[in-house]
């Protein structure tokens, strides 16, 4: 029995360190290779020794696929390819390929330069690793080898985020990575065709949430800013991502910048808006490079008007934080544990007019987490106590699909079964129940290291000759085309492919002469009359029963029904019985056996 | 009176026999001659060509050439025979295909009855092997069948043929068969069963079977055929509903898209039927079920289907309100707890009457726990359909959703109230079309709604939009919006004033907007008055500048509110009253008449108008026009004077009362024509001998010419002109032409020219004592007499003819245009290299122009007298409101090099084409008519003030 095996090395009932092993029809594929932001020890990377105890990863894995550039999806890539050792192909989209090394380098800098970690991958390793990357286009079918093929679909989570279909023969798996079903200011919605995979591996971060419309969320955000600014307060919109690194800066930053610049004049927001240095320039650069990956609006209008020019946004300088009057600053990192955002926070925390907006959830132990949980007195380094008087707001701007979105995608792809990753166990439980109830699709949610085995029904494609197909089609009624139908033909297996041809052609191809295969059968009849008479009686009997068939009485005394020959003979030993010789070819087996059974019952008594 | 009528009729018949019949006969003769010539040649040529053809490619070429020329109805049959003959001989399928398609084209020829070729077509169909040719032949049969809608026997036969070929292996053939069935399938009720012994086939059943065909194209065709049946009036069975529902989950978007339509059709046919909900015992109305299903398609994978679904939702008005309101509710939850939407929260905050925006920590925090079992993630049907539709990625879907919202809200006030929040949110859409659409939508439903302050805030923010279309649409919206609080009014005023400073060209639109805003909310404006006028209880404040558009805007708001709020004038300061008097006179359309206590100067005149129910200006108009009736009895001098001052009165009235401007102008123009006519007839020249008056005839001919121009203006520049006015106008023109003839005809040859202009006489109803009446009387004499006599007769007739009273139409408006841009004030010339082009943006508003796409032209006059006419693209015209249009276009200028900058004139023209209204008279063509005579009168009327643009073409640098 063929099967698909899935083992999450990370992201099983968890968010972070996405890494999923899939074995499909003898091929092994690794989906994503991320790091975990909650750990600083060995646990931050997936345990690659699970894949192979000894021996090279390259021999075991056919390919690695990276869905998008967030570090929890690609953070362990240099470690995996250079330090553990993998030389096979790594597939990702073009934007991911462009942005991924920047984030990896950033991650490396913080880990090595700031935290002083040893035995971390080097810049050179990142470069070497990126050399193994094969970039793919959307909807491009890439043949990894003769049997394994992959195809990318638009996911809308961040610039270049993609969902991947992995296909071997007739078996296929779709891995969504992270995706977003509602378009935002810069990216479109995820889309997949009705590819009916055997398994759909989907993220489930927001499995238990149905979100308000995006316009409401946008307005809500701006209203919060507005109110603070009217009070004369300053707004720090901290962090542009969830992680400790500014990993998610680009798309989220972008969405918000576009949203803010677009809406602020409409909402009468007339205060300076600052942005962490360098961010807008970089965002501009990549968005201009990858216009096709953005949404309809940007695609349509970028020729006439440059969405990437911000009249209202200025680069932030440290000195600006002390300027009087209201202002809005977008600063990093998001969890307020270091860097610019923390500095600003410390400056502004004392004033109750000010506000800080936290856009994502924060890891325990960070300042962000503390203030979000309502702590008002913070102990900073140097035993300072910082009293937080400013308002703290939480805004969900995350570019993940909500419960409805997930269901919608599952509905679009129509998989045989669904596997949930990248979410919390409790939330998955709910979604799993819903999927099974409403879509009637089996659903799995393995923990890390747990293997799900999925039996698949193996379908073997068989080529059929056109002539045969047409001949058979001509016999049947057309509209009921989806019903299974009986078909006569010869199956030829040659060089591990199968063909169904008509028997004549099969004989010709194989160079064989046709053998006549006849079945003969003797039927004893109690009949005292002469052979001819018996034959005549048989003829009239059959004629009366088999009205649809051609029954003939030949001059030599034999009877034929279609091609079946019946002869009457008188065995010498017993004049009271006649022997009927019934002979038919194997093609007429059905009719022949029917006839014999009929004749065995005897002839009706002649009305003599 | 009856006797008189008879006389008239007879006269007319005479006239016809004189003028119409001979020429018609002649025309027929020509036509038949032509046919006799072409008929053999056409088919013969084809025959020869086809015989000459050595290869299929050759034959194909000949056929293609042949297809380019039209074939007369009489020769169709011959051509068809030749084609069929060739068809039987032809081996190449592509040639046969072309022949088949030609057969179809030919059978569509008007005047040709294709039943004679049907047998042949069916015959060749049976022997045809190629699928493509088969499909084409079926198409031909379809053309034949649709040409003969009454012949049921033929239709049955064709349906039979179609059924036979339904089992073909090619999808193209099956497609065509289904199309045939859809178009010709008999409607059971009309067909009697015994018709030619053929049992009526259940076309619906046959088509329905193909809903599950293996080919998506055939499935689509089947659904389309079903829809076609519906369009032709066949009542579809309700059983189709279930079949169609299955097709909603088809793999192919075109199938799904068509299925959505089908479901919609069935839901409109059987709205009240009850259908069971699967996997439960409950039952719901079919229309509700269908609504839920279509709602579900709003989140389909293909945007084509989404657009289709969103559009159809709008027309499902029978759906229960419970389901309708679900479309706006996404049933939010956060971490399994029920959450309220931002909209709900906003509503609570503002409707509770709390004005402080006292936000509390976490008021959006999720509230009660959700029962996990009860949450339905997909099969919730209508849930949030519009929420999804309005935030779709594709703007096409968003527009469709907004349109649907509009239609549903118009039919359900409670839904209108609920969808308001969503519409307001759409004002912030990225795409201009969507914003515009939502503003229009809001305007349409504005009767049902009142805007909250927070909503107004968002709405007003759109005033900053750089697109003029959007701003003006928003002004229109504000005109008919209800605002709930005085802060709202204040906010609106402030924003409008901001808009005014940013875009001064919006002035008129903003004033108008404030006029309505004021008259709608007098009680809300009242408390704002002191602040707006910046009056102080103790101190006199400085008198504001009367020319400041912003101040005028404020005054417009206040005065209009004061109209229904008698206590308000007490708050005015002295200069306000003065300003009122001034504005009442200068901007009478914006400032209403007020009853101001203690102000005798204004009140005496005004109060009486309020008391008397009838509008005095209307009365005045009537009186002045009635005065003119007595024209007949006055001596020429008196008549002239009477006309002159009546015209003056009317013009003044038109300036004062904008509502009466159209009528006043129209009648004044008519009277002016009459005046000119009288003046011309008073000329001395009539008494002078022919050779002498040649020089003096200038005035008379100029008058004739001017009358003609004025009559064209009257006919084409006013909207709402009815037939009876047109007749009078034509009559006036006829007189002008007679005058012209008299002036010129003595020296030129004959009266044919003049008579040719009388083709419309037959359209004129009886007009007693009129020029036409007399003309008809004397027609036989005119036809026979010499030119000199004719002139004499006409002259006396002109003098004797009575002045016709012009009945006034109900509604009449003069077309007018104002060029907003170019403003013509710039001193900086537009420089460009000579020989190249420079584009000039033209922005103009058009009022009361019918069909501006075809009639409005832009004219550019260069200083050297060269004139250039530009036809703007149809897309350049916008329609911001009833009777109003806006032209925003680009005009390309070019000229050879000039030595110094000069001004070109840009103006708008209204082109007219009288042949569109009057049937052409063919019998005069090519006859003795002199070439100057136009049979269809085309021309242009300038209807905007010219604007001067300074341009400077520079010589090209080498």
Cβ pair A265:B393 closer than 8 A: no
Cα–Cα distance, B902 to B900 (Å, whole number)? 6
The answer for A 175-204 residues in CB contact with B (under 8 A) is: 182-183, 185, 188-189, 191-194
**In this predicted model, what pLDDT tens digit does every residue of A290-339 receive, in sequence order?**
888 877 777 777 666 665 666 666 777 778 878 888 888 877 666 676 66
Residue B191, SS3? coil
| Residue B432 contacts A where some CB pair is shorter than 8 Å | no
Q: B19 vs B474, which has greater pLDDT?
A: B474
Tell me the Ramachandran region of residue A101: left when phi exceeds 0, alpha when psi lies from -120 to 50, beta otherwise. Answer: alpha
Cα–Cα distance, B783 to A407 (Å, whole number)? 88
| Per-residue confidence (pLDDT) for residue B354, from 0 to 100 | 35
| Per-residue confidence (pLDDT) for residue B610, from 0 to 100 | 42
Cα–Cα distance, B800 to B771 (Å, whole number)? 8
Among A461-470, A544-553, B33-42, the least confident range:
B33-42
pLDDT above 90 for A150: yes
| Per-residue confidence (pLDDT) for residue A153, from 0 to 100 | 95
| Residue A132 contacts B where some CB pair is shorter than 8 Å | no
A468 token code pair: 């045969």
Q: Mean of the pLDDT values across residues A239-257?
A: 49
**Taking CB atoms and an 8 Å cut-off, how many pairs form between chains A and B?**
126
Fold exhibited by the domain B815-915+938-954: Immunoglobulin-like (2.60.40)
Q: Is the pTM of this model over 0.80?
A: no
A509 annotated active-site: no
Half-sphere exposure of B673 (CA within 13 A, CB side): 29
Rg (CA), chain B: 37
| Residue B391 contacts A where some CB pair is shorter than 8 Å | yes
| Per-residue confidence (pLDDT) for residue B332, from 0 to 100 | 63
Among A103-107, A541-545, B180-184, B378-382, the least confident range:
B378-382
Contacts 24+ apart (CB under 8 A), B369-377: B369/B336, B369/B337, B369/B338, B370/B333, B370/B336, B370/B337, B370/B338, B372/A430, B372/A433, B372/B336, B375/A434, B375/B331, B375/B333, B376/A438, B377/A210, B377/A403, B377/A404, B377/A407, B377/A434, B377/A438
pLDDT above 70 for B40: no
**In this predicted model, what pLDDT tens digit does every residue of B578-634 receive, in sequence order?**
888 888 888 888 888 887 765 544 444 444 444 444 567 777 878 877 777 777 777
Cβ pair A267:B461 closer than 8 A: yes
A287 CA to chain B: closest CA distance, Å?
18
Question: Which of A82, A105, A171, A203 is the catalytic position?
Answer: A203
**In this predicted model, what pLDDT tens digit does every residue of B748-759 receive, in sequence order?**
544 455 554 454
| Residue A26 contacts B where some CB pair is shorter than 8 Å | no
A481 token code pair: 């085309």
Q: Which position has the token pair 């998989």? A: A415
Range A203-222 burial, b when 16+ CB lie within 10 A, else e: bbbbbbbbbbbbbbbbbbbb
Q: State the pLDDT confidence band at A270, using cuts at 50, 70 and 90.
A: confident
| Per-residue confidence (pLDDT) for residue B31, from 0 to 100 | 39
**In this predicted model, what pLDDT tens digit does every residue of B672-722 receive, in sequence order?**
888 888 887 776 656 555 555 555 556 777 888 888 888 888 888 887 777
Q: B279 vs A581, which has greater pLDDT?
A: A581
1.25.10.10, 1.10.10.10, 1.20.210.10, 3.20.20.80: CATH of B254-329+379-448: 1.25.10.10
Cβ pair B464:A265 closer than 8 A: yes
Residue A27, SS3? strand
Mean residue pLDDT of chain A comes to 81
Q: Are A342 and A321 in contact (CB under 8 A)?
A: no
| Per-residue confidence (pLDDT) for residue B359, from 0 to 100 | 36
The answer for A 294-333 residues in CB contact with B (under 8 A) is: 295-297, 300
Cβ pair B425:A213 closer than 8 A: yes
- Return the HEC string of B568-597: HHHHCCHHHHHHHHHHHHHCCCCCCCCCCC
CA distances to B284, B292, B309 from B320, rounded to whole Å, are 10, 11, 18
| Per-residue confidence (pLDDT) for residue B331, from 0 to 100 | 66
Which sign, positive or negative, has the C-alpha torsion B8, B13, B18, B23?
positive
Q: Which of A37, A36, A15, A20 is nearest to A204 (CA)?
A: A15
Chain B partners of A412 at a C-beta cutoff of 8 Å?
Answer: 301
Please spell the DSSP secondary structure of B95-115, one letter per residue: HHHHHHHHHHHHHTSTT--TH
pLDDT above 80 for B775: no
Residue B822: asked if its preceding bond is cis (omega within 30°), the reply is yes
Cα–Cα distance, B112 to B74 (Å, whole number)? 7
| Residue A478 contacts B where some CB pair is shorter than 8 Å | yes
Taking the domains of chain B in order of start, what are their residue ranges?
254-329+379-448, 454-595, 616-800, 815-915+938-954
B733 CA to chain A: closest CA distance, Å?
53
Q: Which of B153, B152, B164, B123 is nearest to B140 (CA)?
A: B123
Q: Which of B604, B547, B544 is nearest to B572 (CA)?
A: B544
Which sign, positive or negative, has the C-alpha torsion A427, A428, A429, A430?
positive
Chosen from A139, A180, A191, A212 to mutate, greatest number of chain B CBs within 10 A: A212
Half-sphere exposure of B190 (CA within 13 A, CB side): 15
**In this predicted model, what pLDDT tens digit does every residue of B149-180 receive, in sequence order?**
777 788 888 888 888 888 888 889 999 999 98
| Residue A423 contacts B where some CB pair is shorter than 8 Å | no
A583 token code pair: 């002979």
Among A252-266, B420-434, B922-936, the least confident range:
B922-936
B301 CA to chain A: closest CA distance, Å?
6
Sketch out chain A's domains with CATH numbers.
3-210+399-451 (3.60.15.10), 214-394 (3.40.50.10890), 462-478+486-510 (no CATH), 518-601 (3.30.70)
Q: Which of B602, B608, B522, B629 is nearest to B567 (CA)?
A: B522
Chain B partners of A270 at a C-beta cutoff of 8 Å?
Answer: none
Residue A333: asked if its preceding bond is cis (omega within 30°), the reply is yes
Cα–Cα distance, A432 to A235 (Å, whole number)? 40
């Amino acid at each position: 029995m063929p099967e698909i095996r899935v083992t999450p090395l990370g992201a099983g009932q968890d968010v972070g360190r996405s890494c999923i092993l899939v074995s499909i029809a003898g091929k092994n594929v690794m989906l994503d290779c991320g790091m975990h932001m909650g750990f600083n020890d060995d646990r931050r990377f997936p345990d690659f020794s699970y894949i192979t105890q000894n021996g090279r990863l390259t021999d075991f894995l056919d390919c690695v696929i990276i869905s998008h550039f967030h570090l929890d999806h690609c953070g362990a890539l240099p470690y995996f390819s250079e330090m553990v050792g993998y030389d096979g192909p790594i597939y990702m989209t073009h934007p991911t390929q462009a942005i991924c090394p920047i984030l990896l380098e950033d991650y490396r800098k913080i880990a090595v330069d700031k935290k002083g970690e040893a035995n971390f991958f080097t810049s050179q390793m990142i470069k070497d690793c990126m050399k193994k990357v094969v970039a793919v286009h959307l909807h491009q079918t890439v043949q990894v080898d003769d049997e394994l093929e992959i195809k990318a679909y638009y996911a809308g989570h961040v610039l270049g985020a993609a969902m991947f279909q992995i296909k071997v023969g007739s078996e296929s798996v779709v891995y969504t990575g992270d995706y977003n079903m509602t378009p935002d200011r810069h990216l479109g919605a995820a889309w997949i065709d009705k590819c009916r995979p055997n398994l759909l591996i989907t993220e489930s971060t927001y499995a238990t949430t149905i979100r308000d419309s995006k316009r409401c969320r946008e307005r809500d955000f701006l209203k919060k800013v507005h109110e603070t600014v009217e009070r004369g307060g300053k707004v720090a919109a901290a962090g542009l991502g969830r992680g400790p690194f500014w990993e998610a800066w680009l798309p989220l930053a972008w969405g918000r910048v576009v949203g803010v610049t677009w809406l602020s004049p409409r909402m009468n927001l007339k205060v300076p808006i600052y942005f962490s240095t360098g961010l807008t320039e970089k965002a501009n650069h990549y968005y201009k490079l990858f216009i096709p990956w953005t949404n309809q609006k940007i695609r349509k209008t970028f020729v006439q008007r440059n969405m990437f020019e911000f009249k209202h946004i200025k680069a932030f300088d440290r000195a600006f934080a002390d300027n009087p009057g209201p202002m809005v600053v977008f600063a990093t990192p998001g969890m307020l544990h270091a860097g610019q955002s923390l500095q600003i926070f410390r400056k502004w925390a004392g004033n109750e007019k000010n506000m800080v907006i936290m856009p994502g959830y924060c890891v325990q132990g960070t300042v962000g987490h503390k203030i979000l949980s309502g702590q008002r007195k913070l102990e900073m380094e140097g035993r300072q106590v910082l009293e937080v008087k400013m308002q703290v707001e939480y805004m969900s701007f995350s570019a993940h699909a909500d419960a409805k979105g997930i269901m919608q995608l599952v509905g679009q792809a129509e998989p045989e079964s669904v596997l949930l990753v990248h979410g919390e166990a409790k939330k998955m439980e709910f979604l799993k129940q819903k999927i099974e109830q409403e879509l009637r699709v089996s659903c799995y949610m393995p923990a890390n290291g747990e293997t799900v085995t999925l039996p698949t029904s193996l379908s073997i494609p068989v080529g059929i000759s056109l002539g045969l197909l047409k001949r058979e089609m001509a016999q049947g009624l057309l509209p009921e085309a989806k019903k299974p139908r009986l078909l006569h033909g010869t199956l030829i297996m040659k060089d591990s492919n199968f063909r169904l041809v008509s028997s004549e052609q099969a004989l010709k191809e194989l160079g064989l002469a046709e053998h006549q295969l006849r079945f003969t059968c003797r039927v004893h009849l109690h009949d005292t009359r002469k052979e001819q008479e018996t034959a005549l009686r048989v003829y009239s009997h059959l004629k009366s029963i088999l009205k649809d068939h051609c029954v003939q009485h030949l001059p030599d005394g034999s009877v034929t029904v279609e091609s079946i020959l019946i002869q009457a003979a008188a065995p010498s030993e017993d004049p009271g019985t006649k022997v009927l010789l019934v002979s038919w070819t194997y093609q007429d087996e059905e009719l022949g056996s029917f006839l014999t059974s009929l004749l065995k019952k005897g002839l009706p008594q002649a009305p003599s | 009176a009856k006797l008189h009528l008879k006389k008239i009729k007879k006269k007319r018949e005479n006239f016809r026999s004189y003028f119409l019949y001979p020429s018609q006969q002649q025309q027929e003769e020509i036509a038949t001659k032509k046919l006799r010539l072409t008929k053999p040649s056409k088919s013969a040529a084809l025959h020869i060509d086809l015989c000459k053809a050595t290869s299929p490619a050759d034959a194909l070429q000949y056929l293609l050439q042949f297809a380019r020329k039209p074939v007369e109805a009489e020769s169709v049959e011959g051509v068809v025979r030749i084609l069929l003959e060739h068809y039987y001989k032809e081996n190449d399928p592509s040639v046969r295909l072309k022949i088949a398609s030609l057969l179809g084209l030919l059978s569509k020829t008007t005047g040709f009855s294709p039943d004679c070729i049907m047998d042949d077509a069916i015959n060749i169909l049976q022997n045809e092997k190629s699928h493509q040719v088969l499909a084409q032949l079926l198409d031909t049969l379809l053309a034949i069948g649709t040409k003969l809608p009454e012949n049921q026997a033929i239709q049955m036969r064709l349906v039979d043929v179609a059924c036979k070929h339904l089992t073909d292996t090619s999808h193209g053939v099956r497609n065509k068969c289904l199309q045939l069935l859809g178009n010709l399938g008999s409607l059971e009720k009309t067909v009697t069963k015994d018709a030619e012994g053929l049992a009526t086939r259940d076309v619906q059943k046959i088509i329905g079977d193909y809903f599950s065909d293996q080919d998506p194209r055939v499935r689509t065709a089947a659904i389309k055929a079903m829809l076609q049946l519906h369009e032709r009036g066949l009542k579809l069975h309700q059983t189709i509903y279930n079949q169609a529902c299955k097709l909603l989950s088809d793999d192919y978007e075109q199938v799904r898209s068509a299925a959505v339509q089908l479901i919609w059709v069935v839901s409109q046919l059987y709205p009240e039927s009850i259908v069971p909900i699967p996997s439960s015992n409950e039952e719901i109305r079919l229309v509700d079920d269908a609504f839920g299903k279509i709602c579900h398609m709003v989140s389909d994978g293909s945007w084509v289907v989404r657009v289709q679904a969103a559009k159809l939702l709008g027309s499902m008005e029978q759906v229960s309100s419970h389901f309708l309101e679900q479309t706006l509710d996404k049933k939010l939850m956060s971490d399994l707890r029920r959450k309220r939407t931002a909209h709900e929260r906003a509503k609570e905050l503002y409707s509770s009457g709390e004005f402080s925006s006292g936000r509390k920590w976490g008021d959006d925090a999720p509230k009660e726990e959700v029962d996990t079992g009860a949450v339905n993630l997909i099969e919730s049907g209508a849930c949030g359909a519009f929420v999804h539709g309005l935030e779709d990625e594709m703007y096409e879907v968003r527009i469709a959703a907004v349109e649907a919202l509009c239609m549903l809200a118009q039919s359900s006030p409670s839904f209108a109230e609920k969808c308001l929040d969503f519409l307001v949110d759409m004002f912030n859409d990225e795409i201009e079309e969507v914003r515009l659409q939502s503003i229009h939508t809001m305007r349409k439903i504005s009767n049902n709604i009142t805007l909250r302050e927070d909503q107004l805030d968002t709405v007003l923010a759109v005033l900053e939009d750089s697109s003029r279309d959007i701003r003006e649409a928003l002004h229109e919206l504000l005109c008919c919006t209800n605002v709930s609080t005085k802060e709202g009014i204040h906010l609106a005023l402030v924003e409008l004033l901001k808009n005014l400073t940013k875009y001064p060209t919006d002035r008129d639109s903003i004033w108008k907007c404030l006029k309505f805003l004021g008259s709608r909310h007098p009680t809300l404006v009242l408390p704002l008055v002191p602040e707006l006028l910046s009056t102080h209880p103790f101190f006199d404040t400085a008198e504001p500048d009367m020319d400041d558009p912003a101040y005028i805007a404020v005054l417009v708001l206040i005065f209009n509110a004061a109209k229904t709020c008698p206590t308000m004038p007490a708050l005015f300061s002295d200069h306000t009253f003065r300003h009122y008097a001034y504005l009442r006179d200068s901007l009478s359309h914006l400032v209403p008449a007020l009853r101001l206590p203690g102000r005798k100067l204004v009140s005496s005149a005004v109060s009486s108008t309020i008391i008397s129910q009838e509008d005095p200006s209307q009365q005045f108009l009537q009186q002045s026009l009635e005065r003119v009736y007595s024209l007949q009895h006055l001596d020429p001098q008196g008549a002239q004077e009477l006309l002159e001052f009546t015209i003056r009165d009317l013009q003044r009235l038109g300036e004062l009362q904008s509502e009466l401007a159209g009528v006043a102008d129209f009648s004044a123009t008519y009277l002016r024509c009459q005046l000119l006519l009288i003046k011309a007839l008073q000329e001395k020249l009539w008494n002078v001998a022919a050779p002498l008056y040649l020089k003096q005839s200038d005035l008379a001919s100029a008058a004739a010419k001017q009358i003609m121009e004025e009559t064209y203006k009257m006919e084409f520049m006013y909207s709402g002109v009815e037939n009876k006015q047109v007749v009078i106008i034509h009559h006036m023109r006829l007189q002008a032409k007679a005058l012209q003839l008299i002036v010129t005809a003595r020296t030129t040859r004959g009266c044919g020219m003049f008579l040719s202009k009388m083709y419309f006489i037959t359209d004129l109803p009886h007009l007693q004592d009129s020029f036409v009446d007399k003309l008809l009387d004397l027609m036989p004499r005119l036809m026979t007499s010499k030119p000199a006599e004719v002139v004499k007769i006409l002259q006396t007739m002109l003098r004797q003819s009575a002045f016709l009273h012009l009945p006034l139409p109900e509604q009449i408006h003069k077309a007018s245009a104002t060029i907003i841009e170019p403003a013509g004030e710039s001193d900086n010339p537009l420089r460009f290299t000579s020989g190249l082009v420079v584009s000039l943006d033209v922005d103009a508003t058009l009022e009361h122009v019918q069909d501006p796409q075809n009639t409005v032209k832009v004219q550019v006059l260069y200083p050297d007298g060269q004139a250039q006419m530009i036809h703007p693209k149809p897309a350049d015209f916008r329609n911001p409101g009833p009777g109003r249009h806006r032209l925003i276009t680009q005009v390309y200028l070019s000229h050879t090099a000039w030595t110094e900058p000069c001004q070109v004139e840009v103006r708008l023209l209204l082109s007219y084409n009288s042949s569109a209204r009057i049937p052409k008279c063919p019998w005069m063509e090519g006859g003795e008519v002199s070439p100057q005579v136009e049979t269809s009168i085309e021309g242009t009327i300038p209807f905007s003030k010219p604007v001067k643009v300074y341009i400077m073409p520079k010589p090209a640098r080498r």
